[in-house]
Structures are given as structure tokens and as C-alpha cells.
């Protein structure tokens, strides 16, 4: 293009830009977007403040009081927390909960990763995904009652099969050694499909050329899994573990409809203990203190997990 043509085009472009600036059509990127973003965020923000932030501070206030629904809160400072750390039932509930979390997380994570890898390697059918997710769509209470009847000592299908094999029946929910492992396995059955789909979504972000390059170098499937899949899946696994560990610490409904904390204190997890103190015994101040301690435990565990697993980093970068 000749210099004369360039000189002719530049004033036209400059004039068009000025007219656009006057009309407001060529505003710098991002200007005015904040207001629109706040409008979309506002409903979620209101819900977060009403159902999370406000209850937290109100619960913390109640933890500093002696309170039941029929009376007025009486401020007692940190007496509930002092009592809590001297309460053997609290420590038992915490240990029982940790036992449940360990069994649940280990089994659920291993099975979920195995199912996700098999889906990724063998089939990506939506029908298969739906079948895997089906147990998660069942209510926790219904799933717990279903397994409670199936594992019944006298008439349960599982114990009938065990007796058919000539073995001794097992009191799955009635034996202190079996109660927590049984509850954990029931919840693993319900949640592993959902967890597997989360892991499966993470597997789809790993480029195929990485595996192809490894295969050219002579890497086997097993070596590729440990040296490629697991390292590249770390950010997704970190998210999955934070969600599953946090949810496992809050197990309640399965215990409430099956063992009710028994036999003895063998399955009295911390959430059920909070429920008993608050709604059965009417000690809402003490129950609130237990809830505050549980919140601190969950926040600490989540932060440790995110730091140790380096959730914000990816080996693909």
C-alpha cells in the first residue's frame, strides 16, 4: 500500500474511533463489568451471608452461653470449651469419627480412581456413567435403611447367604467391632460413583499425547498410571479429598437411622453427639461449642490437605 493510501486511512480510523468513544461503544475492556458481575453474585452472596456467616457467628455466641430453647441464653464465657476438653464422650466421639473417616476415604478414593480409570480407558458411555451415579441419587436415609435390612442379623439377605455358606452370622450394626466399618462401607457404596465421576472429569483434562509419548518410550500401563496419571491428577484429587473428608466428618443420617450411636458408644460420631446434646438433652450452648470445635477441625484439615497436595499447582503447566 502506498504512503498516500496510509495517510488517507489513518484519519478515517481516528475519526471512527472518536465517534465510537463518544457513543460509548469502544470503552476499555472490563469497564462496567463489575456492576453486572455483582448483580449475578448478589443472590449467592445473600444466601451465603444468611445461611453460613450469620449462623456461624450466632452459633459461636451460643457456645459462650448456657442455653436451651425454653430459656434465655446466660453468658458463661469459655466454660463450655473447658468442659468439652474434659469430656470423655467428646474424645470418644472424635476417635470414632476419625476411624470412620479413614475407612471411608481410603476405600472410596481407591474405588473411585479405579472406576474412573476403567471408564476412561474402556468406555465413556453416558449409560455407564448414569448407572455408576445411581446410588448417589438415592437418599442417604433410604440407602441406610436398605442396607440395614439387608444386613439384619436374623433375616438379612447377606446373613442368609453367610449362613448358607456354613459360616457364622455377623451382627454388622450390632457388634462394636463391625458397626463403624459397616457404616463406612454403606456410605462408600453410595458416594463412590459421584467421586469417580469427579476423577473421570479430571482424567479427561490429561492430553492423550502424554500417554502416546510414554508408550513410545516403552512405558507400561501400570507405570504410566503412577508416573503420569496420578501426578497430573493431583489438583483434582486434592479437591475430591477436601470434599470427601469434610463430608465424612459430618456423617449423621446413616448413624441416626441404623445404630443410633450404639452399641454403647461404638458408633457415636461427633455429629450425632452434637445432635444428642442439643436436641435430646437441650444443652444448646454445649452443642454449639462442639460445633465450633468441629468447624475448626474441618478448616484445619482442609488447609493441611490443600498445602500438602499443592492443589493450586499442575504438572501440565
The predicted pLDDT at position 163 comes to 95
Q: Total structural domains in the chain?
A: 2
pTM: 0.84
140: domain CATH number?
1.10.3720.10
Cα separation of 248 and 104, whole Å? 7
141 & 222 share domain: yes
Cα separation of 21 and 296, whole Å? 53
Q: Answer whether 26's CB lies under 8 Å from 20's CB.
A: yes
249 & 117 share domain: yes
189 & 56 share domain: no
Percentage of residues of the chain with pLDDT beyond 90: 65
Report if residue 18 sits inside a domain. no
User: C-alpha cell of 150?
Assistant: 439387608
Report if residue 156 sits inside a domain. yes
**Would the pLDDT of 107 be above 50?**
yes
Range in 29-33, 43-47, 251-255 with the lowest mean pLDDT: 29-33
Q: For 149-167, what is the mean pLDDT?
A: 94
59 & 125 share domain: no
Q: Domain of residue 29: give its range.
A: 25-63
135 & 96 share domain: yes
The predicted pLDDT at position 29 comes to 52
Q: Express each pLDDT in 171-196 by its tens digit.
A: 999 999 999 999 999 999 999 999 99
The predicted pLDDT at position 8 comes to 47
Contacts of residues 91-99 at CB distance under 8 Å and 24 or more positions apart, as own/partner, are 92/265, 92/268, 93/265, 93/268, 93/269, 93/270, 93/272, 93/273, 94/270, 96/180, 96/265, 96/266, 96/267, 96/268, 96/269, 96/270, 97/249, 97/251, 97/269, 97/270, 97/271, 99/180
304 & 193 share domain: yes
Query: Across all residues in the chain, what is the average pLDDT?
Result: 87
Q: E strands along the chain, which residues?
A: 65-66, 74-75
The predicted pLDDT at position 165 comes to 94
32 & 133 share domain: no
Report if residue 263 sits inside a domain. yes
**Would the pLDDT of 145 be above 80?**
yes
Q: Express each pLDDT in 208-262 by its tens digit.
A: 888 888 888 888 888 888 988 888 898 899 989 999 999 999 999 999 999 999 9
Q: Answer whether 248's CB lies under 8 Å from 241's CB.
A: no
177 & 265 share domain: yes
Amino acid at each position: 500500500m502506498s504512503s498516500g493510501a496510509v495517510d488517507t486511512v489513518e484519519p478515517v480510523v481516528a475519526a471512527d474511533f472518536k465517534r465510537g468513544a463518544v457513543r460509548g461503544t469502544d470503552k476499555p475492556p472490563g469497564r462496567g463489568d463489575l456492576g453486572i458481575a455483582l448483580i449475578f453474585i448478589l443472590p449467592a452472596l445473600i444466601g451465603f451471608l444468611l445461611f453460613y456467616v450469620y449462623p456461624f457467628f450466632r452459633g459461636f455466641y451460643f457456645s459462650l452461653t448456657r442455653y436451651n430453647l425454653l430459656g434465655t441464653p446466660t453468658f458463661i464465657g469459655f466454660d463450655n470449651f473447658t468442659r468439652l476438653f474434659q469430656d470423655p464422650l467428646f474424645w470418644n466421639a472424635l476417635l470414632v469419627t476419625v476411624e470412620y473417616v479413614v475407612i471411608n476415604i481410603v476405600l472410596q478414593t481407591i474405588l473411585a480412581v479405579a472406576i474412573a480409570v476403567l471408564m476412561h480407558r474402556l468406555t465413556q458411555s453416558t449409560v455407564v456413567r448414569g448407572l455408576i451415579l445411581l446410588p448417589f441419587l438415592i437418599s442417604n436415609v433410604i440407602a441406610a435403611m436398605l442396607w440395614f435390612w439387608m444386613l439384619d442379623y436374623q433375616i438379612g439377605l447377606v446373613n442368609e447367604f453367610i449362613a448358607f455358606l456354613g459360616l457364622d452370622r455377623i451382627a454388622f450394626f450390632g457388634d462394636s467391632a463391625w458397626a463403624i466399618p459397616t457404616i463406612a462401607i454403606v456410605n462408600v457404596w453410595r458416594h463412590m460413583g459421584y467421586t469417580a465421576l469427579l476423577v473421570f472429569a479430571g482424567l479427561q483434562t490429561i492430553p492423550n499425547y502424554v500417554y502416546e509419548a510414554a508408550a513410545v518410550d516403552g512405558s507400561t500401563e501400570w507405570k504410566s498410571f503412577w508416573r503420569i496419571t496420578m501426578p497430573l491428577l493431583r489438583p483434582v484429587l486434592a479437591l475430591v479429598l477436601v470434599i470427601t473428608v469434610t463430608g465424612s466428618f459430618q456423617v449423621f443420617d446413616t448413624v441416626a437411622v441404623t445404630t443410633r450411636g450404639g452399641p454403647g458408644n461404638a458408633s457415636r460420631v461427633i455429629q450425632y453427639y452434637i445432635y444428642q446434646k442439643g436436641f435430646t438433652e437441650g444443652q444448646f450452648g454445649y452443642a454449639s461449642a462442639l460445633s465450633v470445635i468441629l468447624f475448626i477441625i474441618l478448616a484445619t484439615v482442609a488447609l493441611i490437605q490443600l498445602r500438602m497436595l499443592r492443589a493450586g499447582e499442575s504438572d501440565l503447566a
